[in-house]
Amino acid sequence: MNGYWLGNLSVIYPESWLFDWRFIIGILLFITGFIINIYADNILIYLRKPGETDYKIPTGGLFKYISCPNHFGEILEWCGFALLCWNLPALSFAIWTAANLIPRALAHHRWYRTKFENYPSERQAVIPFVL
C-alpha cells in the first residue's frame, strides 16, 4: 500500500518538503527508532556466548527501562515514517505496526517476569515509563 501510494498515487513532494516540520521531525524519529531497534537487536543477538543455551535478562541501552526496546524502536520508526510522508497509507502502516508489536511486547514482558524471579520490577513492556 505504501509503495503503490508513493509510486503511483501521491503527488511529487516539492523540495520545500525537506524543510517542513513534519519531514524534519519524522526523519529524526525514524532515524532514532532505527538506531534503537538495531542496538537492541544486537544486544539480544550477543546475549548468549557460543554454546550457551540458557535464557538471560538483557541489559544495556533501553533494556534498563523496557523489556522490548527493539519493538519500541520499530514503532518509533514507522511513526516517524508516517509523519515524514504525511499520508494515510503510512499512517495505516504505523498503526498496524503498533497494533502488532505492542501485544507481542506485553506477552514478552509477562514471560520475562514469569521466567526470572529477579526481573527488574521497574521495567515496562514497550514504552518507557508508560506501558
Q: What is the pLDDT of residue 70?
A: 97
Flag whether 85 is in a domain: yes
| Amino acid symbol at 66 | I
Flag whether 51 is in a domain: no
Number of domains in the chain: 1
Q: What is the pLDDT of residues 15-64, one digit of tens each?
A: 998 999 999 999 999 999 999 999 999 999 999 888 888 899 999 999 99
Flag whether 34 is in a domain: yes
Q: What is the pLDDT of residue 64?
A: 95
Q: Is 120 exposed, middle or buried (0-12, 13-18, 19+ CB in 10 A)?
A: middle
Flag whether 99 is in a domain: yes
Q: What is the pLDDT of residues 102-131, one digit of tens each?
A: 999 999 999 999 999 999 999 999 999 998
Flag whether 83 is in a domain: yes
Q: What is the pLDDT of residues 90-106, one digit of tens each?
A: 999 999 999 999 999 99
- pTM (two decimals): 0.88
Q: Sign of dihedral through CA atoms 90, 94, 96, 101?
A: positive
Report the distance separating Cα 57 and Cα 63, nearest Å.
9
Flag whether 5 is in a domain: no
Range of the domain at 91: 29-46+58-115+122-131
| Higher-scoring residue by pLDDT: 49, 65 | 65
Flag whether 6 is in a domain: no
In this structure, the number of other CB atoms found within 10 A of the CB of residue 113 comes to 15
